[in-house]
Amino acid sequence: MLLVADVGNTQTHLGVYEGEELLESWRLSTRATDTADELLASLRALLAASPEPLAINHVAIASVVPSLSESWAQAAQQLSGSKPLLLSHETKAGFSYGYDNPEEIGADRIADAVAAVARYGAPVIVVDFGTATNIEIIDRNGAFVGGIIAPGLSTSADALFAAAARLPRIDIITPPEVIGRSTKTAVQSGLTYGEIDRIDGLVRRVFAELGYESPVVATGGLSRRVLSLSTVITQVNDTLTLEGLRLIFERQQLELQQ
């Protein structure tokens, strides 16, 4: 079985695959100070709590937290008994880059792009809702031509509440009306409708630059909140990054067998 780990700044998304089937998945808070031993203990506890036995033979990791990457690699090797795949721009992912400095591309962005092309074809745009909101653009030739990075919804909210002393910290939910009738609903409107209108506007600008439109796939922890509000998002896939990690790992295994 294959364990895939999408290690983000705020959350870590884990999944266990047997072939193409996702057997289990978990979302955990990311702790930048975790050691390899702590990660290994957490992984073993999760796997032991599964209703079905999960014997991990391989691990594939996409980490955007440099301080955790080596710890994850060590924990993964101890868990599986084999060297893990630590995804980077140097990994053969199956597409070309139109990016000035490919080494700057986060591993999660690469995994998203691979899964999106495999599932929806090219061209395709991915909107990944996380600590940052990433918009990835794959053109009609299947090349990763670039993207957009903006503060994520929760990040924007945290910055607002920290800077504005009189604004109370509130739950981020979408109010029924754009016009807020209280400070609470006014803030909720600004955060949620503001986020989705920013995304829709940016994607339309991308369409204009490309000269054509494409499917737009949303992923990440907050993706389902915006589907009904967006005018450009056509699909939601909560496990897109995990799927990309699986596909890249399988491609690496095939190359080793040749």
Catalytic residues: 108
The Cα–Cα gap between 153 and 151 comes to 7
Name the residue among 258, 248, 255, 250 with its Cα closest to residue 93. 248
Neighbouring residues of 48: CB distance < 8 A, sequence distance ≥ 6 = none
Name the residue among 100, 96, 107 with its Cα closest to residue 72. 107
Joined tokens for residue 241: 């990054």
3-class DSSP state for residue 109?
helix
CB environment 192-226: b (16+ within 10 A), e (fewer): bbebbebbbebbeebbeeeeeebbbbbbbbbbebb
